[in-house]
């Protein structure tokens, strides 16, 4: 069944569309969510279910010409998992959540500070331009690390690099982003 | 710029920049072994197995359908046609503005009336004082 067929069924509020969508993409969604939340199966299951429900609720706003069905699902799953991660950290108040990547732990910690959560629209526009301007491989590194919160180990395995090479490349990219952001902010403020 | 900020900034990434297949490739090359074990643990799909919508998800879907139906029915009850619905809303706003304006003008009118009454009273008092002074002066003059 094609994505168009699935979308059409869900727009008609037909459960079959949901079943088809899950058959096709559940594995991928579990992979994304597990990468952020670790191996807490109950949280993962709830997160994936929330993803389906959010998609179902907002189905009329998805434009398959702009992005594929799976891309929308990936974004929803990722954001749902991040929210769950922040809440887990806040409520359980553990100093270090086991079994998740370092970047996910750092994110969970730093997000408790409200200042780190405030992001302006202009900053996001800048970020889009920066990411779009990167070479393909660098873009993949940034997206894997800061969008999907994958560990350097997972990234290295996926991209056929060593962990040291991944960390080194990411460090240079991070420095570049920080420098460019700083310059951009100065220009913005005149 | 912290790592958390970078993660949050990425949340605003344009969806067209995410039309990649990085993770699909991971799964295809069997690099996502952890997720396979997890999938088994949460009773996920195996080859040939049918997806069963779990109760919690089904409840959520049914609630959402009920909610949307109720909203639609309510709107149709008040006003079937969309343009009429808009007119009703505009009328409601106009009515509210008129009500507020009536209250404001009422208060202003009362203030003006009260102020005038006070001014009259004060004027009367000061005139009465002046008359008394004139009388006293006349009496003093006639005495002499």
Higher pLDDT, B132 or B68: B132
Contact yes or no for B18 and A143 at CB 8 A: yes
What are the CA-CA distances from residue A161 to residues A140, A145, A152, B2, B119 (Å)?
A: 13, 14, 10, 25, 91
Contact yes or no for A124 and B5 at CB 8 A: no
Q: How far is A169 from chain B (nearest CA, A)?
A: 15
Query: Final residue of a domain: which of A81, A114, A147?
Result: A114
- Tell me, yes or no, if B12 comes closer than 8 A to chain A by beta carbon: yes
User: Whole-number mean pLDDT of chain A?
Assistant: 86
pLDDT of A185 above 90: no
DSSP state of B15: G
- Answer whether A161's CB lies under 8 Å from A155's CB: yes
Write the ipTM.
0.84
Q: What share of chain B is helix, strand, coil (3-state, %, to 5)?
A: 80, 0, 20
Tokens linked to B70: 């109720």
Of the candidates A41, A115, A131, the one whose C-alpha atom is nearest the C-alpha of residue B12 is: A131
pLDDT of B1 above 50: yes
Per residue in B33-87, pLDDT (tens digit) is: 555 555 555 544 444 445 556 666 777 777 777 777 777 777 666 656 666 667 7
Helix (H/G/I), strand (E/B), else coil: A96: coil
pLDDT of A97 above 70: no
- Answer whether B55's CB lies under 8 Å from A46's CB: no
| CATH assignment of the domain containing A129 | 1.10.10.10
Query: Final residue of a domain: which of A67, A85, A114?
Result: A114
Least confident of A66-70, A161-165, B15-19, B46-50: B46-50
Residue B43: predicted pLDDT? 47
| CATH assignment of the domain containing A75 | 1.10.1740.10
What's the domain count of chain A? 2
Contact yes or no for B7 and A146 at CB 8 A: yes
Distance from C-alpha of A63 to C-alpha of A72, rounded to nearest angstrom: 9
Q: What is the pTM of this model?
A: 0.67
Query: Final residue of a domain: which of A96, A114, A132?
Result: A114
What are the CA-CA distances from residue A158 to residues A99, A104, A141, B21, B30 (Å)?
A: 19, 18, 10, 12, 10
List all residues of chain B from 47 to 86 with a beta carbon under 8 Å from chain A.
50-51, 53-54, 56-57, 60-61, 64-65
Contact yes or no for A41 and B11 at CB 8 A: no
């Amino acid at each position: 069944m094609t994505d168009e067929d699935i979308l059409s069924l869900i727009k008609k509020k037909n459960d079959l569309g949901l079943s088809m969508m899950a058959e096709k993409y559940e594995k991928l969604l579990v992979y994304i969510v597990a990468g952020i939340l670790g191996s807490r199966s109950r949280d993962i299951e709830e997160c994936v279910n929330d993803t389906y429900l959010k998609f179902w609720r907002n189905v009329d706003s998805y434009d398959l010409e702009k992005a594929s069905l799976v891309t929308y699902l990936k974004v929803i799953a990722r954001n749902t998992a991040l929210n769950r991660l922040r809440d887990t950290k806040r409520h359980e108040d553990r100093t270090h959540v086991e079994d998740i990547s370092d970047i996910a732990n750092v994110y969970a910690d730093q997000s408790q500070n409200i200042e780190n959560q405030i992001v302006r629209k202009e900053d996001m526009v800048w970020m889009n331009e920066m990411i779009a301007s990167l070479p393909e491989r660098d873009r993949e590194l940034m997206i894997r690390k800061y969008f999907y919160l994958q560990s350097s180990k997972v990234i290295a395995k996926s991209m056929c690099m060593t962990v040291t090479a991944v960390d080194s490349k990411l460090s240079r990219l991070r420095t570049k982003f920080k420098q460019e952001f700083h310059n951009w902010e100065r220009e913005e403020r005149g | 710029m912290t790592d958390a900020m970078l993660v949050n900034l990425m949340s605003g990434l344009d969806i067209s920049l995410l039309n990649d297949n990085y993770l699909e490739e991971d799964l295809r090359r069997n690099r996502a072994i952890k997720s396979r074990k997890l999938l088994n643990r949460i009773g996920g799909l195996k080859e040939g197995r049918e997806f069963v919508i779990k109760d919690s998800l089904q409840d959520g879907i049914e609630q959402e359908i009920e909610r949307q139906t109720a909203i639609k029915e309510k709107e149709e009850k008040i006003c079937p046609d969309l343009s009429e619905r808009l007119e009703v809303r505009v009328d409601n706003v106009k009515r509210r503005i008129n009500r507020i304006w009536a209250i404001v003008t009422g208060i202003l009118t009362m203030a003006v009336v009260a102020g005038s009454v006070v001014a009259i009273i004060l004027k009367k008092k000061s005139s009465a004082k002046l008359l008394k002074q004139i009388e006293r002066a006349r009496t003093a003059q006639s005495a002499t």
